[in-house]
Amino acid sequence: MNLSKLSKAILVATATISAPAFAVPITTDIISVVDESGSMGGEHGWLGGMISSLDSALAVEAGTDTFSAQYGLVGFGGAGSHLLGHAHDMDAGTAGIQEFGDAAQYATATGSLTLSGGFEDGYSGIDTALGYTGQANSVTNIILVTDEDRDTADNSLNYSVIDAALAGKNALLNAVLNVRISCQDGSSALGMDSSGTAYKADGSGGFSTCGSAIRGWDAGASWNHYGDLALATGGAVWDLSQLRAGGLTADSFTAAFVDIKVQETIQQSTVPEPASIALLGLGLAGFGARRKFAK
């Protein structure tokens, strides 16, 4: 079969763009940044099971392709040495601080989180997480969990500094905050993504979408400090009160959180290399120009 130059160009473009749809190799570093104040015990207990579910879901999506996920834990807002962002050891059996571990090691490490603080600087925690040394060619995901807005403990950090640092590492931020999010009909939402889509509990432990999200009340300046930051990276914002509600609502929260995190990680993992996009665009543009001037 003889193909025209245009047909060949279209086939090459289609193959280049479509390839990731048939293979989902996943290499990711996921770091939780967690408030260590006295009100956070329930969330500390939630983290291990959530990460285990996320790890299993990511492995299913990777299938027979490359799968390498590792998990880190940063605390902030506790008393004394736990005030500023600091790493929690993923392997207490070896010398030094091990920044990353598997899902089981992560679950064990959550037991080292404290409940001793009350002055919480989440920017310090995010900054510490961004200093972790991850895997080569990995995608970085940060999960911030706090029920307060920012208290400034590190004056060198502000919104612009953290925003630029996240962008510099191509890191995606999810924020579980003491904020309220509603569906268009006014009913409570579990969270919202960067496109403005809201997620709602379905009453049986699952979830559905419910149109455009509406931002509501927040604790202090949680939207300004953290919510806008998460959405700017392409991440999502979640209503902590929905997790604290317990029962089926909490099940729905976890199901939605894990599902969206999987989608985000896959999207990060399958974005074509910028150089490939540029070459493809130049090739097609050049071919079009030649056709135009040949008329």
- Tens of pLDDT, residues 85-117: 999 999 988 899 999 999 999 999 999 999 999
Q: Which residue has the higher pLDDT, 291 or 136?
A: 136
- Measured CA to CA, the distance from residue 60 to residue 79 in angstroms comes to 40
Q: Domains of the chain: which residue ranges?
A: 25-269
Tokens representing residue 198 in the block = 């809201």
Query: What are the Cα distances from residue 11, in Å, to 2, 16, 107, 287, 289?
Result: 13, 9, 47, 14, 18
Pick among 3.30.70.20, 3.40.50.880, 3.40.50.410, 3.90.320.10: CATH of 25-269: 3.40.50.410
Instruction: Encode pLDDT of 163-217 as tens digits.
Output: 999 999 999 999 999 999 999 999 999 999 999 999 999 999 999 999 899 999 9
Q: What is the pLDDT of residues 36-58, one digit of tens each?
A: 999 999 999 999 999 999 999 99
Structural element, H or E, at residue 280: helix 274-294
Residue-wise pLDDT tens digits, 206-221? 999 998 999 999 999 9
pTM for the whole structure: 0.85
